[in-house]
Chain A
Amino acid sequence: MIYKETGQYKSTYQSDHAIFPLMQDKVAFAILMIIAFFVVPFVVDSYWEKAILVPFLIYSMAAIGLNILTGYCGQVSLGTGGFMAVGAFSTYKLMTSFPDLNIMLIVIISGFLTALVGILFGLPSLRIKGFYLAVATLASQFFLVWLFNKVPWFYNYSDTGQITVSERTMFGIPVTGAEAPSYATYLFCLTLVVVFGFAAKNMIRSKIGRSWMAIRDMDIAAEIIGVPPLKTKLSAFAISSFYIGIAGSLYFAVYLGALEVTESFDIMAISFPVLFMIIIGGLGSMLGSFLGAAFIVLLPILLKNFMVDLVGLSAVTAKHFEITIWGLLMVIFLIVEPHGLARLWSIAKEKLRRWPFPY
């Protein structure tokens, strides 16, 4: 009886179209936002920031991006790492070329630059589908990483090939660089994720989102009712890359601070984990993007705490176990619940609606 919708009448289509049509969800979301914006910043320490909160927010951003492309538009992509690298290197070049530009602006421009690259690599999607498209995006992953490694202009001819962030401030508080306080980096990422998270949800429930889903579910019928396939697919690539570019930008500027492209944007480091996030979280679900990101960020930490601190395994053995468990969970999820954590949540909600009665 917790999720009782009885008595919640809607008299306008506006209220029926709301993101959270139920009062309970609205209240829960409001409480979550108040805690995230007004409580967490005062208690967050460096460990929570670096190990959990900031990576969770950045991965959520990337997962929303990939979910738009793969979950909503049905175009499988393995190029996430490459696109995140575009975001990171755009940020680096913008930072070094325009020292006075505001960091928020730099991050958003990086997103737009990544969107352009995304459109370019999305062009083959008109001709190829499914696995073959996945291979084409895989090519973009390797090409982009190779490019940023091979052309010294991108890392300003530094000897190590590393790119390093310099300090930038928002309202006088540093948000990038070694001196940035935990609450500042956290709030910076949180603001971007909340704003663009809402934007993504709004697009999904509007015309463009329905066009994407139409292309995903049956492209022939979509064409017959007047959805232009090329334009729709490219818009998905562009918007998806925009989100992934912002994630890459934050990953470099706010999270790592200094990185080397082959290591940080490797397919095993980014592309596959983000794909797993949306599969485990739920393809074609906003909530799924967040749940998947939380799962992938938290699981290794929990496993490590359990195996190393409680059981007393050596760190190396624990790492091996972690990879095994990861793979196992992946297989189990694909077999038992292909729609991911988001579906489990909606089943739970359905149960809560009737609880404590069986039906």
Chain B
Amino acid sequence: MSLEKIQNISYGKNVIELKNISLSFGGVQALTDVSFEVKRGEVFAIIGPNGAGKSSMLNVINGFYKPTSGKINFAGQERSQMEPEFAAKSGIARTFQNIALFKGMSTLDNLMTGRLLKQKQNLFMQALYYGPAEKEESFHREQVEKVIDFLDLQMIRRTPVGSLPYGLQKRVELGRALAMEPEILLLDEPMAGMNVEEKQDMSRFVLTANHELKTTIVLIEHDMSVVMDISDRIVVLDYGKKIGSGKPQEIRNDKAVIDAYLGITDE
């Protein structure tokens, strides 16, 4: 699989910057003054105990939640909130904590929905089908087949995803996001509920996507061994506040992080 458009990327440049993001639902303060930036080409992990605001953070990044205050700097624009459609168009794809696939459609069709924004034929040409629309359809099918090859989904190409086992559904969801050829891929607990073997597979897919497709990855995960192994940098949230950030080695020895995870002991 090759992605021509980001062949010559510059590593280390900020691809998205979040400045002083706060988010509240009525009286509940989900995020308070969180700032961080994601560098191009890295695997960036957001960790924290339950209810720390990790998923809210992803929802802010792809425009599903509107932050109460703060700025998002992405694609050369500084905006106070994202729009889902703009995010999708400018290359942010995501997967969900609870699988959000189109259950009535086959694996192939699910992956093809990832190409919707890239299909340009108008309604009349689609109704006519033969000619340009068919050509376009075949072109995108070819791209989707590359994703299918990459994720080993050949056996379940025609199966409705509703009847697939959990681990495969997670993989199909990753595939749908990859079919969008995203610049940033947001993964919300991609390995939740998996056994060790499935986690290894998933980690391999995520790392390959990162290395070979040059996709920047923002990841939420609870399995610390996975996070410490695959991520380049980590930010730690607790009760909606940022309590630490840095390389895995630094986070491992950070006093505030250890306190948040293990509780503070009275000595």
A-side residues, CB < 8 A to B, are: 12-14, 16-17, 199-200, 202-203, 205-208, 210-211, 213-214, 216-218, 220-228, 235, 284
Closest to B64 in A: A224
Interface residues of B in 115-165 (CB under 8 A from A): 116-117, 119, 121, 123, 126-129, 133-134, 137-138, 141-142
Contact B103 A207 (CB under 8 A): no
Instruction: Identify 12 new A-B residue pairs, CB closer than 8 A, beyond the known A220-B100, A221-B100, A284-B104.
Output: A17-B141, A206-B119, A208-B123, A208-B126, A211-B113, A217-B102, A217-B105, A223-B85, A224-B62, A224-B87, A224-B94, A224-B100
* Contact in complex: B85, A17 (CB < 8 Å): no
If A206-B129, A220-B100 touch, whether A225 touches B137 (CB-CB below 8 Å) is no
Main secondary structure of the interface of B (DSSP, over half): helix
Give the docked Cα–Cα distance between A95 and B55 (Å): 60
For A205, the chain B residues whose CB sits under 8 A away are 129, 137
Q: Is B240 an interface residue (CB 8 A)?
A: no
Q: Which residues of A contact B129 (CB under 8 A)?
A: 202, 205-206
The answer to whether B94 and A213 touch across the interface, beta carbons within 8 angstroms, is no
CB B108 to nearest CB in A, in angstroms, measures 10
Between A and B, 30 residue pairs with Cβ closer than 8 Å are: A13-B137, A13-B138, A13-B142, A17-B137, A17-B141, A200-B127, A202-B127, A203-B123, A205-B129, A205-B137, A206-B133, A207-B116, A207-B119, A208-B123, A210-B109, A211-B113, A213-B102, A216-B104, A217-B104, A221-B96, A224-B62, A224-B84, A224-B94, A224-B100, A225-B113, A225-B176, A226-B84, A226-B89, A226-B117, A226-B180
Residue from the list B87, B89, B128, B142 in contact with A202, Cβ < 8 A: B128
A12 lies within 8 A of B101 (CB): no
Quick check: is B187 within 8 A (CB to CB) of the other chain? Answer: no
Closest 10 CB pairs of A and B: A226-B88, A217-B102, A202-B129, A221-B100, A206-B126, A13-B138, A199-B127, A226-B117, A207-B119, A13-B141
Residues of B bordering A, CB below 8 Å:
62, 64, 84-85, 87-89, 93-94, 96, 100-105, 109, 112-114, 116-117, 119, 121, 123, 126-129, 133-134, 137-138, 141-142, 176, 180
A213 to B88: give the CA distance in the assembly, Å: 18
Task: Give chain B residues whose Cβ lies under 8 Å from the Cβ of A235.
Answer: 123
Query: What total of A-B pairs shows CB separation below 8 Å?
Result: 100
Choose among A12, A207, A284 the residue that contacts B138 (Cβ–Cβ < 8 A): A12
Specify the chain A residue showing the minimal Cβ separation from B103. A217
CB distance from A260 to the nearest CB of B (A): 34
Determine if B142 and A221 form an interchain contact, defined as CB atoms under 8 angstroms apart: no
A52-B94 Cα distance, complex, nearest whole Å: 51
A226 nearest CB neighbor, chain B only: B88
The CA-CA distance from A73 to B88 in the complex, in Å, is: 21
> Considering the chains assembled together, what is the distance between the CA atoms of A203 and B119 in angstroms?
13
The answer to whether A203 and B127 have CB atoms under 8 Å apart is: yes
The residue on A at minimum CB distance from B162 is: A217
Q: Would you call A14 and B114 a contact (CB within 8 A)?
A: no
**Cα(A202)–Cα(B128), bound, Å:** 7
Q: Smallest CB–CB gap between B61 and chain A, Å?
A: 11
- Assembly CA distance A216 to B176 (angstroms): 17
Q: Which residues of A contact B121 (CB under 8 A)?
A: 206-207
